[in-house]
Amino acid sequence: MDELMLDGNAAAGLLSDVFAVEMTTAIGICDGCGAVEAVGAVRVFRGAGIVLRCPHCDAVLMTVVTAESRTWIDLRGLRTLELETP
């Protein structure tokens, strides 16, 4: 096994730090058109979950579905998501 490789548990602290920040000011790059916008500026549609869409090309940036005690997050429409960390 590669000495630099760990399992996903090694990222637990980092991920909990990253996802416990103010998300409306996070900057995303749309994978569809390359537009750069804060999460607070995108369009949100509610249904069985929420869908965040690019205000420029209407591409799906992110979907979030919550059921009981679980949440599914799909970020495949974002090229990157830049978060301000403490």
C-alpha distances in Å from residue 58, one per residue of 19, 54, 80 = 25, 5, 17
Q: So what's the pLDDT on residue 2?
A: 77
Query: Is residue 71 included in any domain, yes or no?
Result: yes
Q: What span, in angstroms and rounded, lies between the C-alpha atoms of 42 and 53?
A: 6
Query: Is residue 1 included in any domain, yes or no?
Result: no
Residue 39 structural domain: 8-82
Query: Is residue 3 included in any domain, yes or no?
Result: no
- Reduced to 3 states (helix: H, G, I; strand: E, B; else coil), residue 54 is coil
Query: Is residue 22 included in any domain, yes or no?
Result: yes
**Cβ atoms within 10 Å of 10's Cβ, excluding its own:** 9
Q: So what's the pLDDT on residue 26?
A: 94
Query: Is residue 2 included in any domain, yes or no?
Result: no
Query: Is residue 30 included in any domain, yes or no?
Result: yes
pTM of the predicted structure, to 2 decimals:
0.84
Structure confidence at residue 48 as a pLDDT band (50, 70, 90): confident
Query: Is residue 20 included in any domain, yes or no?
Result: yes
- If one counts the domains in the chain, the total is 1
